Amino acid sequence: MLDRVSAGSIVSIASDIVRIPSFKTEETALAMWLAEFFSSKGYEVDLQEVEEGRYQTIARLKGVGDGRSLMFNGHIDIDPLARGWKGDPFAPRVSDGYLFGAGLENMKGGVASMIAAAECIRTSGVQLRGDLVLACVAGELQGGVGTVHMLQSGLRTDMAVVTEPMGTQNVTLVHSGWSQLAISTIGFSTHVTVKDGAVDAIAMMRRLIPVLEATEFTCDRRADMPALPILTVGAIIGGRGEEHDLKGPNFVSDYCTILVDVRFLPDQTPQTVYDDIVRSLNRLREDDPSFEFEIEQPPGPRYRAQRVQMPALQVPESEEIVQTVIRHAREVLGREPTVGLNLPLSYGGDDTCHLWEAGIPCLLYGPGGVEPTPELPDHSIEIEEMVRATKVLALTALDVCDIAGSTPGDL
């Protein structure tokens, strides 16, 4: 079986999905392409409408018996691109053993590996007893919009692997909680010629941010996750009215908003994060009763940021799916993988938390991407890393779903 894993076929799949832009909230074109791809190869396909006009693709390689089912889960939405790319982000290219293209490091490389693993099994002639489900979901970068929708539709499998870019040397079982907030200051707008009567929302925000960043969170610090909690002000916009109208810089801003990202420890919740921030910001009102702010958690849809909040995750190493992936990673890598915490990647959130809360034993295992640098901001992934991930995923599917009848070739 492993000799059927082809670097060329993996690069071909990854390149096809890179060519179709799929920024968060804009996944439909890629979902449609994937639906056609899977349908043409005999998979059962469920093209799910996550929100009006917004789709994701769930494909099922149907088993022939009553074996256990396994899900490979990967998100098809990608983050906004930074400036300075050396090449066309949507024209994939190979150089020195790496594939370059938008979203490969998070997480089109992982999506390509899970598709290639399923295709390796399908084209080998092997028949699985149980179903292999490929969930190509939307909106993970908004907190798991697509996976939550999928679970609400009733889909369950016996086990799952989320193919996030954790690196094939890592079997990752832990991630932080993740919450985002929109915090706005509210002023009073006047023309600049009479600005003495204005209350400047931008000036208010300049006062708010240092107080916010000094928030003392209620939690028990962990030595193995020393950076948590992490609070980041990731975006700011000010203008006139709640839509931040920018056509009037000759008026003092009356509405300024920051988008805030918080990564938190397992003993915290989105509610405790909210309560701690409100307590901190209320100090501004104590000093100035006219100081006005409001908080949305998660941010409203207009910001296209997080829509679903993610609790922290810690999967026991004793889970069968964990032991299965460890065994096959050892086989493919030729050495013991690192199991459990994976810093700094465990400071992120992902869809495993939703699967786990739905009662599906799961873990994180996928090909690690290359972090962009100022010198080379283009996204990339090592081709051999995708090959290794594909092999481990294919062996895991054979193990969990079980093989019906005789097995052609050398597994």
Identity of the residue numbered 28: T
- 118: tokens are 């399923």
Locus of tokens 């670097």: 7
Co-location of 194 and 332 in the same domain: no
Are residues 275 and 232 part of one domain?
yes
Establish if 247 belongs to a structural domain. Answer: yes
- The confidence score (pLDDT) of residue 371 equals 81
Q: Is 409 inside any structural domain?
A: no
Question: Considering 282, 303, 324, which residue would you say is the last residue of a domain?
Answer: 303
143 within a domain of the structure (yes/no):
yes
pLDDT of residue 408: 42
Take residue 347 and report the two structure tokens written for it: 């400071």
Is 251 domain-assigned? yes
- Residues 60, 63, 68: CA angle, nearest 5 degrees: 95
- How many Å apart are CA 183 and CA 411, to the nearest integer? 55
Handedness of CA 98, 104, 106, 108 (dihedral sign): negative
Instruction: Give 315's Cβ-side CA count (13 Å radius).
Output: 35
DSSP 114: H
The 10 Å Cβ neighbour count of residue 107 is 28
- Cβ–Cβ < 8 Å for 74, 162: yes
Query: What is the C-alpha to C-alpha distance for residues 142 and 139, in angstroms, rounded to an integer?
Result: 5
Same domain, 169 and 202: no
Q: Which domain holds residue 365?
A: 2-175+312-404
Domain count, the chain: 2
pTM above 0.85, yes or no: yes
Q: What pLDDT is stored for residue 405 in this prediction?
A: 62
Cα–Cα dist 392/114, whole Å:
10
Q: Do 272 and 140 belong to one domain? A: no
Of 379, 374, 370, which is closest to residue 84 (Cα–Cα)?
A: 374
Question: Tens-of-pLDDT digits for all 411 residues of the chain?
Answer: 677 789 999 999 999 999 999 999 999 999 999 999 999 999 999 999 999 999 999 999 999 988 999 999 999 999 999 888 999 999 999 999 999 999 999 999 999 999 999 999 999 989 999 999 999 999 999 999 999 999 999 999 999 999 999 999 999 999 999 999 999 999 999 999 998 999 999 999 999 999 999 999 999 999 999 999 999 999 999 999 999 999 999 999 999 999 999 999 999 999 999 999 999 999 999 999 889 999 999 999 999 899 999 999 999 999 999 999 999 999 999 999 999 999 999 999 999 999 999 999 999 999 998 888 888 889 999 999 999 999 999 999 999 999 876 444 444
| 6 inside domain | yes
Instruction: Give the domain-ending residue among 303, 337, 370.
Output: 303
Domain membership flag for residue 411: no
In sequence order, which residues have a C-beta less than 8 Å from that of residue 143 and are 6 or more positions away? Answer: 178, 180, 298, 306, 307, 308, 309, 310, 349
Q: Please report, for the domain that includes residue 20, its CATH number.
A: 3.40.630.10
132 and 88 housed in the same domain: yes
Provide the β-strand partners of residue 134.
59, 72
Type of residue at 322: V
Question: Which tokens is 163 given?
Answer: 């193919």
Residue 339's pLDDT is: 98
Give the CA count within 13 Å in the CB-facing half-sphere of 342.
28
| Residues 377, 166, 29: CA angle, nearest 5 degrees | 65
Looking at the fold, whether 231 and 318 belong to one and the same domain comes out as no
The residue type of 119 is E
Q: Would you say residue 40 lies in a domain?
A: yes
The length of the chain, given as a count of residues? 411
Q: Angle of helix 270-287 relative to helix 201-213, nearest 10 degrees?
A: 120
Instruction: For the sheet with 177-186, list strands across it.
Output: 230-239, 255-264, 177-186, 293-296
Q: Are residues 105 and 118 in the same domain?
A: yes
Same domain, 109 and 228: no
Q: What is the pLDDT of residue 59?
A: 98
Whole-angstrom distance, CA of residue 171 vs CA of residue 338: 6
